[in-house]
Structure 1
Amino acid sequence: MNNKNEKPKHPLIPPYGGYRKLKSYQSAEIVYDATVVFCDRFIDKKSRTHDQMVQAARSGKQNIAEGSMASGTSKKTELKLIGVARASLEELLLDCQDFLRQLGLSLWEKDHPKSQEIRKLAWEKNR
């Protein structure tokens, strides 16, 4: 490094953050927003299930952000938090599957036309 204004090739703390650009964060944010609306509409607000589902969705989103912010100083922490995010979103998925099963409703497969329609919403600019 000859010039004081040049950035070092291998900085002590690599770039980190930028989680809002991650597709995983963007998807988790959509899941969180949709979960809040779904739970408010279909699950008793006073029930433990309502709180657990909303918190699982929030945890998924927040842990992706926190992991991204920690990545500059600890890859181990980043991976741990991403693992927590995945586990939280899996917990939410199980709660949703339980909801459908208990009401005798079918789960749409990934290729079902309704699933495809909803998945497209994730890539629209003003969802």
Structure 2
Amino acid sequence: MQSSFLPQRGHYKSLIVYQKAECIYDVTYMFAHRFLSRGDRTVDQMIQAARSGKQNIAEGCAASSTSRETEIKLYNVAKASLQELLADYEDFLRVRSLCQWELSDPRSIRTRKGCSEHCDSAFYRNSLQNSSEETIANIAITLIHQVDILLHRLIERAKKNFLEEGGIREQMTRHRLEYRKNNPK
């Protein structure tokens, strides 16, 4: 039996999914302020969707100590927010007649490889300074797809943990019964 029914969790900054979500936020912040018109509502919407993706991973991770249900819901909110952001990037490219790179495009292949190797947001902030709107949008799209896969895995792991360990009430009851058994009056 676990030594504690309330393990301290919330070390979200060490999760690759969080680190990549932070990259998405930083790329989106830079993109929106550089390529969208000041006063355009899309600026705030894109930044808030990117922020929501990142923050809900952090909050879900912290909530996992007491509620697997809340953890799973927050990870799903992160996925939904990033899907909204994905649609914004795709819309941006489409309405400006810019190219969304196909999976087989050499640029897409290089981008997937590069994005899989880099989880540090400073890398993107520095390396994208002189990149075009099309390039940055496609990099953001790639990162969003990678985080979506990682979030799916994180949700599956949280579901598995719930099935194996139960919720907080079940864990508390098990530990209380074990304590009574080992500490008779």
Same fold (TM over 0.5): yes
Aligned to 2:12: 19
- Give the structure 2 partner of residue 123 of structure 1: 117
Give aligned pairs, total. 120
Could you state the TM-score of these two structures normalised by the residue count of structure 1? 0.85
Structure with the bigger percentage of helix: 2
**Could you give the per-residue CA deviations for residues 78-125 of structure 1, whole angstroms, max 9, x where no partner exists?**
000000000000000000000000011111134433234344155346
> What stretches of structure 2 of length at least 5 have no aligned partner?
124-185
What residue ranges of structure 1 are gaps of 5+ in the alignment? 1-7
Higher CA-based Rg: 2
Q: Tell me the equivalent position of 2:54.
A: 61
RMSD of Structure 2 on Structure 1 (CA): 1.8
List aligned pairs for 1:16-55, cutoff 5 A: 16-55=9-48
Taking CA–CA contacts closer than 8 Å with sequence separation of 6 or more, which of the two structures ends up with the larger relative contact order?
A: 2
User: What is the identity percentage for the equivalent residue pairs of Structure 1 and Structure 2?
Assistant: 49
The separation in 2 between residues aligned to 1:117 and 1:41, in whole angstroms, is 24
Q: TM-score, normalised by structure 2?
A: 0.60
Query: What is the deviation of 1:50?
Result: 0.6
Instruction: Look up the equivalent residue of 2:10 and give its one-letter code.
Output: G
